Structure formats: structure tokens, C-alpha cells
């Protein structure tokens, strides 16, 4: 009889640990998703200043800058928790346009020699890297939760308590996967 109780206690402890681990993984994923949001907010804050400064030099790139501004507003209005795929899509587009902007900036030597502009571009680069890092962290947490939800026995507990993977992987667009050499700007 005692052996049965011990066996039951062990099973209960294992189930509890699996439950705790699942909840932790889900919370970590949520935390990493908000981490992306924080980094994106930094980018949204930086773009208006950058565009205002660049407007003085890059008159021929007006349409590109307008598109960036428009994409920024659209992306800002999408809540990550409501529609993560849409948020990723818009921010991917914004990343691409910002890369185009960096490349176009190459053609404006006056702007390249402006220290304030250089600092702003450097800040933008740092923010972009932080976004990339936040996305990598998010993706690794998606994988962890995905494995836990799909692999037995934690999959059983996940079903019982209704935990499912409802957040997508962040995948870079094909154009964004092509490397862009922005270092030329800083030479």
C-alpha cells in the first residue's frame, strides 16, 4: 500500500514539474515577444528624427521616406498580441525599406559627413541589431514551447490545461535575408 502511495506521489510530482515547466516556457515566450516590442518601439522613436534630418539632403528619395513614415505608423498601430503575423510582416517591410534608405544614403556625401546624421545612422544600426537579437531570443522560445507542446508526456499536460503554440516563428523575408553592406556608409 505504501509503495502505491509513493508511486502516486512520484507521478504527481512529475506531472507538477511538467506543468510548471510548460507555464514557464509560455511565460518566457510572452516575455520575449514583449522584448521585440520594446526594441521596435526604439526604432519607431528613432525614425521621425532620422527622416527629418535626411529630408534636408535626400530630396530625391522623398517617396521612399514617405513610405517609411507610413509603414512606421501602420506597424505602430498593430498590436503584437492581437495579430503577431501582421506585426512581423509590417516590421519586415519596414526593415527592408530602412535598408534601402541606408543604401540610398550612399549617394549623398554631404549627409555622410554630417556627424549628427552619422550618430543617428549608428543608433539605427544598433537598434536593428537589438531587434534581430530579440527576434532570435523569441524564436528560440517558440522552439522550446513547440517541443514541449508536441512531445510526450508534456504534450499531454499541455492539452489538459489548454496550452498551445499560438505564436508564429519570426521568419525574415527573402529580400531581408540578402546581406546588405551598410559599412560603406561609415567609411
106 binds other proteins (CB under 8 A): no
Cβ-contact 26, 154 below 8 angstroms:
no
Least distance (Å) from other proteins to the CB of residue 38? 8
Which one, of 32, 39, 50, 163, lies nearest residue 111 by Cα?
Answer: 50
Q: Which of 129, 150, 171, 173 binds other proteins (CB under 8 A)?
A: 129
Give the side-chain half-sphere CA count within 13 A for 154: 20
Residue 62 to residues 48, 52, 92, 181: CA-CA distances in angstroms?
14, 11, 21, 22
33 binds other proteins (CB under 8 A): no
Q: Which of 42, 86, 112, 130 binds other proteins (CB under 8 A)?
A: 130
Tell me whether residue 15 or residue 132 sits nearer to other proteins (CB atom).
132
Q: Which of 22, 32, 65, 95 binds other proteins (CB under 8 A)?
A: 32
- Through-space distance between the first and last CA atoms of the chain, rounded to whole angstroms: 78
Least distance (Å) from other proteins to the CB of residue 4? 35
User: Interacting stretch for other proteins, rule CB under 8 A, among 42-50, 89-97, 126-134, 148-156?
Assistant: 126-134
Least distance (Å) from other proteins to the CB of residue 21? 15
Least distance (Å) from other proteins to the CB of residue 133? 4
Q: What is the tally of helices (H) and strands (E) in the chain?
A: 7, 0
171 binds other proteins (CB under 8 A): no
Cβ-contact 80, 33 below 8 angstroms:
yes
Radius of gyration of the chain (CA): 23
Least distance (Å) from other proteins to the CB of residue 9? 27
134 binds other proteins (CB under 8 A): yes
98 binds other proteins (CB under 8 A): no
Cα–Cα distance measured from residue 163 to residue 97, given in angstroms and rounded to the nearest whole number: 37
Least distance (Å) from other proteins to the CB of residue 84? 17
In 3-state terms, the chain is what percent helix, strand and coil (to 5)?
A: 80, 0, 20
In the complex, which residues of this chain contact other proteins (CB under 8 A)?
32, 35, 39, 122, 125-126, 129-130, 132-134, 136-137, 140, 182-183, 186
Amino acid at each position: 500500500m505504501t509503495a502505491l502511495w509513493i508511486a502516486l506521489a512520484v507521478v504527481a510530482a512529475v506531472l507538477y514539474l511538467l506543468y510548471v515547466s510548460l507555464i514557464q516556457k509560455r511565460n518566457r515566450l510572452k516575455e520575449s515577444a514583449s522584448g521585440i516590442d520594446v526594441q521596435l518601439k526604439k526604432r519607431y522613436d528613432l525614425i521621425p528624427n532620422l527622416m527629418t534630418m535626411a529630408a534636408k539632403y535626400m530630396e530625391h528619395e522623398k517617396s521612399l521616406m514617405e513610405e517609411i513614415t507610413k509603414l512606421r505608423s501602420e506597424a505602430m498601430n498593430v498590436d503584437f498580441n492581437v495579430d503577431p503575423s501582421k506585426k512581423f510582416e509590417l516590421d519586415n517591410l519596414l526593415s527592408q525599406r530602412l535598408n534601402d534608405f541606408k543604401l540610398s544614403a550612399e549617394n549623398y556625401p554631404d549627409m555622410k559627413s554630417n556627424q549628427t546624421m552619422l550618430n543617428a545612422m549608428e543608433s539605427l544600426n544598433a537598434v536593428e541589431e537589438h531587434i534581430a537579437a530579440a527576434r532570435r531570443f523569441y524564436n528560440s522560445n517558440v522552439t522550446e514551447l513547440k517541443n514541449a507542446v508536441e512531445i510526450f508526456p508534456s504534450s499531454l499536460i499541455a492539452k489538459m490545461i489548454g496550452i498551445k503554440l499560438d505564436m508564429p516563428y519570426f521568419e525574415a523575408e527573402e529580400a531581408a535575408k540578402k546581406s546588405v553592406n551598410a559599412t560603406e556608409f561609415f567609411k
